[in-house]
Each structure stands twice: as C-alpha cells, then as structure tokens.
Amino acid sequence: MAGNNPSSSEYIRHHLQNLTFGNHPEHGWSMAHNAQEATDMGFWAIHLDTMGWSIGLGLIFLFVFRKVAKTATTGVPSGLQNFVELMVEFVDQSVRETFHGRSRLIAPLSLTIFCWIFLMNVMDLIPVDWLPGVAAKVGEMFGADPAHVFFKVVPSTDINATLGMSLSVFALIIFYSIRVKGLKGFVAELTLHPFNTPNKLAQIALIPVNFLLEFVTLIAKPISLALRLFGNMYAGELIFILISLVGIWQLPLHFPWAVFHILVITLQAFIFMMLTIVYLSMASEDH
C-alpha cells in the first residue's frame, strides 16, 4: 500500500499478495516487497503465510481430535465429543457408501481432508483487515515497512496449497491403481480403453488415441480438484475485500455474505473429500 490512504486497486492487490520468502536474482534470499519480486523468485520461493496457517490449522485439528479420543467416555459425552463423533460417523458413512475397495487409509484420509480444508476455508470469515493489520503492526515493531508486510490468512485461496493437496491425492490414485491392477494392468488401462477391438492390428493402431484420452482424464482429476477449491475460495475472499471498501456500510453487507459463505466453505470441503473417495475407489477397482 502507498502511504496511509491507498487507492482501491492498491488495497485489493495488497490483500491478495502472499508473504513470500525466496531467492531473488538480485537481492538473494529475502522477503518479497511486491508482487513482481515474488514472481522473480520463481520456483525458489515459499509463501510463509500459507504454510504457517495450513500447518497451524492442521495441528489444531490433530490436537482437538486426539484430546477427544483420549478423554472419550461412554457416559454423558461433552459437546465437543458429540461433535467429533458426529464428524467421524458422517465421514465413515460417506466412505462406506462410496469406496468399494478395502483400505484402512481411506476413512482417516477422508476425515483429515474434510476437517483440514474446512478449517482453512473458515478463516475466510475473519474480517479481512484484522489479522493482516496485526501482522503489519508486528512487522513495524521489527523495522519493516507496513506497506511491504503481506499476510493472507486463507490457505485455500493459494493455488500452491490446493494444487499440493490435489497432487497428493493424485499420487495415491497412481499408487492404488498399480497396487490393485499391477503395473501391466495400469498401463493396459491407459492404452487399451475406451476403444477396444479383438483385431490386434487395429488395437495397436488405437493405442495412441486411447492413451491420449485416458491420460487427459487422469491428469484432469488433480487439476480440477485444485482449481475448483481455489477458484471458489479466491472469489469469496475477493468479495469480502470488495465489501470492506465501502467503509461504514460494510457490516450490513458482510453479515449476509458471511452467512451464505458458510455454506460455500463447507460444501467445498465436502466436494474435495467426496471426489477424493470416488477417485480412489475407481483406482481400486480391477476391470
């Protein structure tokens, strides 16, 4: 931001910029002072705010569920135990209805995905200026220019975070496909479908076409997972930022959008979880 009264475009750009640390071609290892410097860092850069919030929220999820597991009682349960049991039963039922293979990993993975993404998404309900304002004050205490202190608190609005999660799911898809079908079966699935014929020469001729179609279908899974979550959450955050520009009138506008956004953040976590279960179920089926 420039000065104490940034323009609307400067205000929006500031809130959409991540706190980036990386190896700049000219400045070496340093914090990025603007979007261009962050871009110049290329691959050797990390979004500290995304990593910090995503890891921190993941630890909160582990702490709460572990605490409930250790203190669970068969008597009158606490409100927190009721909530955790409800979440576990909901995810377990979803897995039983959707996953057709046998794996001890799928249910815990699905529970982790749903709760972790929900916690990351729910950060979008915090007013956009609160935590970045605190970060700017802390940075100023250490001699940093507040205009160069960027702080995004919603990890799922960072394409790097959503793509990282989707690539992890993609790795599991490949693992289960090879584990269940074998390497030969996995390669055959990519090259002998969807067009199949008993004529050997025709089948060989169709291998490039089959591979192209199946490869596009396979690679579209992680890309669609990442872009769907990122796009919905990024758009929601942008609307909150635009609402904050109207000044004193932002509260009457902020509340109804926040209520509606509760449905969005829950639905996006649920969709990511369900598609993960579906994709892993498909990978575990031997045709």
Identify the active-site residue in 23, 160, 168, 228: 228
Could you confirm whether 284 is annotated as catalytic? Answer: no
Question: pLDDT band for position 167 (50/70/90)?
Answer: very high
187, containing H or E segment: helix 159-191
**Which of 54, 94, 121, 232 is flagged as catalytic?**
232
Q: Quote the percentage of the chain above a pLDDT of 70.
A: 96
Tell me how far apart the alpha carbons of residues 260 and 257 are, in angstroms, rounded to a whole number. Answer: 5
Average pLDDT over residues 94-98: 95
Strands of 20-24's sheet in order across: 28-31, 20-24, 45-47
> Sorting pLDDT into bands at 50, 70 and 90, what band is 287?
low
Residue 124 CB burial class (10 angstroms; 0-12, 13-18, ≥19): buried
DSSP bridge partners of 47: 20
Mean of the per-residue pLDDT values of the chain: 92
One-letter amino acid at 272 equals F
The reported pLDDT for the residue numbered 143 is 85
**pLDDT grade, residue 4 (50/70/90)?**
low
Q: For residue 209, what pLDDT band results from cuts at 50, 70 and 90?
A: very high
Query: Does the annotation mark 82 as catalytic?
Result: no
- CB count within 10 Å of CB 91 equals 23
Mean pLDDT of all residues in 194-203: 88
Judge whether residue 64 has pLDDT over 90: yes
Note whether 153 and 131 are within 8 A (CB).
yes
Note the pLDDT of residue 254. Answer: 79
- Residue 1: the pLDDT is 46
pLDDT digits (tens, 9 = 90+) for 217-255: 999 999 999 999 999 999 999 999 998 888 666 777 778
Write the pLDDT tens digit of every residue in 108-166: 999 999 999 999 999 999 989 899 999 999 998 988 888 889 999 999 999 999 999 99
| Model pTM score | 0.92
pLDDT at 5 > cutoff 50 = yes
Backbone Cα Rg of the chain: 23
Q: Give the pLDDT score at 197.
A: 85
pLDDT at 3: 45
Q: Count CA atoms closer than 13 A to 259's CA, side-chain side.
A: 5
The average pLDDT across 37-42 equals: 93
User: How far apart are the C-alpha atoms of 102 and 242, rounded to whole Å?
Assistant: 47
Q: Is 104 noted as a catalytic residue in this protein?
A: no
Query: What's the pLDDT score for residue 102?
Result: 84
d(CA 31, CA 81): 42
**The pLDDT value given to residue 106:** 95
Q: Note the pLDDT of residue 24.
A: 94
pLDDT band at 274 (very low <50, low <70, confident <90, very high): very high
